[in-house]
Amino acid sequence: MKVIFTGRIVRDAEVRHTTKGTAMVGFTVPDEVGYGDNKKTQWVNCSMFGKRAEGRLPEFLTKGQWVQVVGDLSINTYTTKEGENRTNLDVIVDDVKILWASKEETQTKATQTDDQTHELDDDIPF
C-alpha cells in the first residue's frame, strides 16, 4: 500500500548497514489518529536504502524536522515476551521532502535575528 504523510521526526536519523553492506537510514515520524478521547499516536518507522542513505540527506533528517514521506506501508504484528500483541507500522521510503526548518533551527534563527537587531539599535545615535 502506497502512503503519503507529513510529520516531525522524533529523533535524529540513524545510518546503518545491512549484512550485505547496503546503507540504510532510519527515522521515526508520529501519526495521530482518532479524535477527542479516542485520539492516539502511532509511530511510523521509516527506512531508506542505497545511495540516498549514503549521501548528505541523513544530515537533514534531525529531531523536530518537518518532512513529507512517500513510500510503501507494511504492518507487522508480533507478540512480546510478555505475551502482548504489538503492531509496527513500517514504511520503505520512495521519497522524502524537507518541508521547513525544525523547531530548534527556527528558534536559533530567531535568536540570531534578535541579536542582530539589538546590534543595529546600538549603532543609532539617538
- Lowest-pLDDT choice from 43-57, 71-85, 93-107: 93-107
Give the pLDDT score at 90: 96
What's the pLDDT score for residue 100? Answer: 76
Q: Is the pLDDT at 12 greater than 80, yes or no?
A: yes
Pairing of strands 40-49, 85-100: parallel
| 109-125 pLDDT per residue, tens | 555 545 544 444 455 55
Pick the CATH number of 2-123 from 3.40.80.10, 2.40.50.140, 2.30.110.10, 1.10.150.120: 2.40.50.140
Per-residue pLDDT tens digits for 58-69: 999 999 999 999
Please state, in angstroms and rounded to a whole number, the distance separating the CA atoms of residues 7 and 27: 11
Residue 67 region by backbone torsions, left for phi larger than 0, else alpha for psi between -120 and 50, else beta: beta
